[in-house]
A and B are shown apart, each in its own frame.
Chain A
């Protein structure tokens, strides 16, 4: 599939996955790839301190939009600020700030779980409708909250049966259920628990939210390196025994890891009938802008290898 086609499938892409799987990295790489195709990108972060800005060498994000790189803008949404905006739009301008300061979000969100999420998603929907960018990437909350985050609209509709918030939930649900407007990109690692969790999340999202799932991004794969089975002691004339041992132990480690990862990738394919996009590990602990470029290229190559979509757009 042409990466351009891939990006055009829906304006909103929700990037979701458990903590530590590299969700933010994938968001950054996808943004870079889309911007490289000439698309305007807006990244929306909802938890703060995700390290997204740092991957672009920028300061932490705030509510107001900021440019992170050419063609890539980003902002951070919090329920508090989204609520102020919401109240202001619903004729409560005078008291909105005071209410929020007095802890209205805590009270209301306890009374109606999911209200925080719906405030955020409502704001995202507004951005999507307004077409503020060609591609909006939502870096979803981590730690298994993705399902409840996206479920919030359905849950809230049952609690709040009328009024503007009900309407808001309706609109959000419509967006989530429309594959031409929104898709979820799940991110995982080729390891046992992350694979189990992504399978569980995928089914929950499909059954309970009814949202369209894009390919699963498998992050952190060891690039396959041929020639790891060479006998170092035999091939290296000038190698000391310690050196030969270090080389072969490292090679064994890598070969074993590759094997374990491939087994998890195969298991994921067997348990979850979604195409996979593979991203390599870069053997680095600090992600810099050049690393993001490398991953953006890898992502584009993986997308090109996907079959072209069956129908028209």
Chain B
């Protein structure tokens, strides 16, 4: 962990080029990412936010009524620019395949393969990988100077950081090599042991499944290097000081527990978390006397204050423990009365995040 004071959230929005919002599901991560992007635009930056599965009304507010892989500009009263897009792992992946295929025919063969068509939906980590890929692409896009990325809900923060490596690891996998062997050695030369092996697996999982996979890996032959280099490029970018990781969470038990786990994993991977944003905090009211109602008529009022104080104390304890673990100050955003689903709502969240 570097010495010296930590930057606050405002500095991050002004100084950095990439903000990655990590955290468990159900804490309002998409909302916070969008609010950070609004702040970016308010600070004069040409900001783009990559959202993942926003709630419908927020998507509408951001003009993301259909799943689109292209950035869409949102007008607002700010000196900078605000753009938004919703991640479409499938078309991002298609773009990658097309880019790295040595010839168009090979790309077509892969894009039409059933195994490939399942990849974006089924291969664990693909969504994370494509979020990273999109981030890389947008960072290189001259229209933008700040990229804010929301991350898919996951149990392990490293699923995201590791995602680019994951596909290349998959391609290096021994089992895959075995499946690719027919392409390498020519079909006739496939050794009998491999054939028997594939037949046995086929018996259990179905022969179509095996033949789809074999065809896919044959079609992929020769493209691993391109993917590997790209994955390295993303890794380098993530480790660059222009990138900041922010942890978004809520003070609720499960979320706090998962966030602590996230922070630990990120720390182990040598990634500093530069801000901790705790969303949906309950309000704290000043304590009253000894906490006992002096007259029976006030019993409910005292009882309520006691309930709410207990909740606020518990939340505060979680936040303090988290801030300590993460080594970054906690920024608190109160629980709002209604869900955020318009630009004024996002601005309000941004006001809380950047209040200090």
For the complex, give the distance between the alpha carbons of A159 and B175 in Å: 22
Which of B14-22, B84-92, B267-275, B298-306 faces chain A?
B298-306
For the complex, give the distance between the alpha carbons of A284 and B310 in Å: 7
Known: A236-B294, A253-B308. A92 touches B338 (CB 8 A): no
For the complex, give the distance between the alpha carbons of A99 and B210 in Å: 14
Contacts of B285 in A (CB 8 A): 246, 249-250, 253
Q: Are B26 and A285 in contact (CB under 8 A)?
A: no
Q: Are A99 and B175 in contact (CB under 8 A)?
A: yes
The answer to whether the Cβ of A207 comes within 8 Å of any Cβ in the partner chain is no
Q: Residues 154-166 of chain A: 1 if any B CB is under 8 Å from the residue's CB, otherwise 0?
A: 0000011111111
**A240 to B: closest C-beta gap in Å:** 9
For the complex, give the distance between the alpha carbons of A92 and B209 in Å: 18
The answer to whether the Cβ of A286 comes within 8 Å of any Cβ in the partner chain is yes
**A188 to B: closest C-beta gap in Å:** 11
Q: Are A239 and B294 in contact (CB under 8 A)?
A: yes
Contacts of A160 in B (CB 8 A): 205-206, 208-209
The answer to whether the Cβ of B170 comes within 8 Å of any Cβ in the partner chain is yes
**Residue from A115, A228, A251, A253 within 8 A of B283 (CB atoms):** A253
The answer to whether the Cβ of A130 comes within 8 Å of any Cβ in the partner chain is no
Known: A19-B25, A48-B155, A256-B337. A285 touches B304 (CB 8 A): no
Known: A109-B123, A166-B206. A250 touches B301 (CB 8 A): yes
Measured as residues with beta carbon below 8 angstroms from the partner, the interface class of chain B is 35 or more
The answer to whether the Cβ of A51 comes within 8 Å of any Cβ in the partner chain is yes
Known: A49-B258, A225-B303, A232-B298. A110 touches B289 (CB 8 A): no
For the complex, give the distance between the alpha carbons of A286 and B254 in Å: 9
Q: Residue of B at shortest CB range from A55?
A: B253
Which of B128-136, B184-192, B231-239, B312-320 faces chain A?
B312-320
Contacts of B310 in A (CB 8 A): 283-284
**Residue from A21, A47, A109, A236 within 8 A of B26 (CB atoms):** A21
Contacts of B303 in A (CB 8 A): 225
The answer to whether the Cβ of B137 comes within 8 Å of any Cβ in the partner chain is no
Known: A19-B25, A107-B176. A283 touches B208 (CB 8 A): no
Q: Residue of A at shortest CB range from B217?
A: A107
The answer to whether the Cβ of A39 comes within 8 Å of any Cβ in the partner chain is no
Contacts of B289 in A (CB 8 A): 239, 243
**Residue from B254, B255, B304 within 8 A of A225 (CB atoms):** B304
Q: Residues 179-195 of chain A: 1 if any B CB is under 8 Å from the residue's CB, otherwise 0?
A: 00000000000011100
Which of B61-69, B114-122, B221-229, B324-332 faces chain A?
B114-122
Q: Residue of A at shortest CB range from B175?
A: A102
The answer to whether the Cβ of B213 comes within 8 Å of any Cβ in the partner chain is yes
Q: Residues 279-298 of chain A: 1 if any B CB is under 8 Å from the residue's CB, otherwise 0?
A: 00101111100000000000
Contacts of A228 in B (CB 8 A): 300-301, 304
The answer to whether the Cβ of B261 comes within 8 Å of any Cβ in the partner chain is yes
The answer to whether the Cβ of B173 comes within 8 Å of any Cβ in the partner chain is yes
The answer to whether the Cβ of A76 comes within 8 Å of any Cβ in the partner chain is no
For the complex, give the distance between the alpha carbons of A294 and B295 in Å: 28
Q: Are A108 and B301 in contact (CB under 8 A)?
A: no
**B323 to A: closest C-beta gap in Å:** 15
Known: A110-B118, A284-B311. A104 touches B25 (CB 8 A): no
Contacts of A246 in B (CB 8 A): 285-288, 305
The answer to whether the Cβ of A64 comes within 8 Å of any Cβ in the partner chain is no
**A301 to B: closest C-beta gap in Å:** 20
For the complex, give the distance between the alpha carbons of A192 and B338 in Å: 7
For the complex, give the distance between the alpha carbons of A196 and B298 in Å: 37
When A and B form their complex, which 8 residue pairs have the shortest distance between CB atoms, in order from nearest?
A20-B26, A227-B300, A19-B25, A113-B122, A160-B206, A285-B314, A19-B26, A102-B175
Binding site for B on A (CB under 8 A): 18-21, 24, 47-51, 54, 86-87, 90, 92, 99, 102-104, 106-115, 142-144, 159-166, 191-193, 196, 225-228, 230, 232, 235-239, 242-243, 246-251, 253-254, 256, 260, 281, 283-287
Given A191-B339, A230-B300, A286-B253, 6 new contacts (CB under 8 A): A19-B24, A19-B254, A49-B261, A226-B300, A232-B301, A247-B301
